[in-house]
Amino acid sequence: KEDTLILSFESSCDETSVAVIKNGNKILSNIIATQIKSHQRFGGVVPEVASRHHVEEITKCIQMAMDEAEVSYDDLDAVAVTYGPGLVGSLLIGIMAAKTVAFAHNLPLIKSNHLAGHIYSASFVTELKYPFMALLVSGGHTELVYVKAPGDFETLGDTRDDAVGEAYDKIGRVLGINYPAGKEVDRLAGIGKDTFNFPRAMVQEDNLDFSFSGLKSAFINTVHHADQVHEELNKADLAASFQGAVLDILVNKTFRALKTHPVQQLVVAGGVAANQGLRKRLASEIETRKLDMDLIFPPLRLCGDNAAMIGAIAQIQYDKKDFADLTVNADPSLDF
Ligand code: KG4
Ligand code: ZN
C-alpha cells in the first residue's frame, strides 16, 4: 500500500474540525464546525463556551469526515491532533478524541503544532521547496518563520505585543464590527483612503520583530477623541488607514527577512492571510522588486483554523516516524 491516510483533529480555539488527508496534500474531507455565533455577543472567544461546543460537535465531525471521505477505520494509517498552542480546555477535547480513535483502532498517534499546520496549509496549493519563508499572521500569532527542511522551523521575527489579527479584532470592535472583525475591516479598507497616517512601529529598526499595540492605541484614541468632540469620522478611511499601517509593517519586515534569507517561495498563512489588501500588496511588491519568488497563499477556506492543515504537517511527522504515545497533553503556549 503506497498511499497514506491520516485522520486529523483541530480544536485549539473556536473551530471544531476533523479531516481525512491523503499523502499530506489531498483533502478527502475537511469538516469545520464554527462556533463564532456563540462567542459574538461576548466580543471574543470565551474558553468555557468553546470547550463545551467542542464536546458537543466532535463526535459528529468525526462521523461526517469519515463518511465524506468514504473510508473506513481500517483504511487509516494514523491519527493526528493539534496539541498546542491554543486554549487548554479546547485542545484537550481534540486530544481526547484523537487518543480514543487511535487506541480503539490501534493506529499511531501524531501530535502536531497548530502554527506548523497553518504554514503547511500551503501544501494543498503547491509542492513546497526548501528552504522557504513563511509569514504567519493569525489571531494569536505574527511571525516570520524560515523553514529549512520538512518540519524544521526557525523563527526569525515575532510580535512583541499584539498579534495582527488581534489588532484587527480590537479596532473593529471600536468601529462597531462584530468579532472576528478582520474580514469586514479589510472590506472597508478596500473602499477607503489612508488619510490618518497612523504610526508604523519599528519599521526603521534593523530587526524582524513586529509591534501593533501602538497602532491599535493610536487608532482607538483617534476614534474616542472624535466621539468626545462629536466629530463623525469616515469608517472606511479609518479602516484603510489602519490597514495601510499594518501592510507597511508586514511588508517591511518580510522583505527585510528575505534579504538575509533568500528563498524561492514565500508562504503567507493564518487567518489574516485571507486579507485582500495583503494579497495584492505582497504581489505588487514582489513585482516591483523584480524578485524571482513564488507567492503562495492557501485557499481562503484553509486560512482559518481547520484540520486539513494538521493532516499536512502530520504527514511530514509520519514520514519521520515521529509518533506520540497516549500520554500526550495539551501545550497551550507551544511555539516552534
Ligand atoms: O488563524 P485564525 O483562524 O485563528 C487563529 O489561530 O488565531 O485567525 C483568525 C484571525 C482573526 O483575528 C480574524 O479577524 C482574522 O484572522 N482575519 C482577518 C481576515 N479574515 C480573518 N484579518 C484581516 N483581514 C481578513 N480578511
Ligand atoms: Zn490558527
Q: Answer yes or no: is the C-beta of 243 below 6 A from any ligand 1 atom.
A: no
Q: Specify whether 267 is located in the same domain as 134.
A: yes
**Which DSSP category does 192 fall into?**
S
Report if residue 334 sits inside a domain: no
Question: Does residue 325 lie in a domain region?
Answer: no
Q: How far apart are CA 108 and CA 314, in angstroms?
A: 11
Q: Are residues 187 and 255 in the same domain?
A: yes
Q: Mark whether 14 and 137 lie in a shared domain.
A: no
Claim to verify: residue 166 and residue 274 sit in the same structural domain: yes
* Residues 164 and 186 occupy one common structural domain: yes
Q: Is 270 in the pocket of ligand 1 (CB under 6 A)?
A: yes
CB-CB contact of 175 with 223 (8 Å): yes
Q: Which atom of ligand 1 is nearest to the CA of 163?
A: 12
Assign 3-class secondary structure to 301-334.
HHCCCCCHHHHHHHHHHHHCCCCECCCCCCCCCC
ipTM: 0.98
Q: pLDDT 10s digit of each residue in the chain, 336 long?
A: 589 999 999 999 999 999 999 999 999 999 999 988 888 888 888 898 899 999 999 999 999 999 999 999 999 999 999 999 999 999 999 999 999 999 999 999 999 999 999 999 999 999 999 999 999 999 999 999 999 999 999 999 999 999 999 999 999 999 999 999 999 999 999 999 999 999 999 999 999 999 999 999 999 999 999 999 999 999 999 999 999 999 999 999 999 999 999 999 999 999 999 999 999 999 999 999 999 999 999 999 999 999 999 999 999 999 999 999 999 999 999 999
Q: Does residue 16 sit in the same domain as residue 157?
A: no
Q: State the CATH number of the domain containing residue 155.
A: 3.30.420.40
Q: Are both 162 and 234 inside the same structural domain? A: yes
Task: Evaluate whether residue 197 is within a structural domain.
Answer: yes
So what's the pLDDT on residue 37? 85
305 — phi, psi (to 5°)?
A: -70, 135
Domain that holds residue 314: 5-120+303-319
* Number of domains the chain contains: 2
Residue 1 pLDDT: 59
Ligand 1 in contact with 304 (CB < 6 A)? yes
The pTM for the full model equals: 0.96
pLDDT of residue 198: 97
**If you measure from the C-alpha of residue 6 to the centroid of ligand 1, how many angstroms do you get, rounded to a whole number?**
26
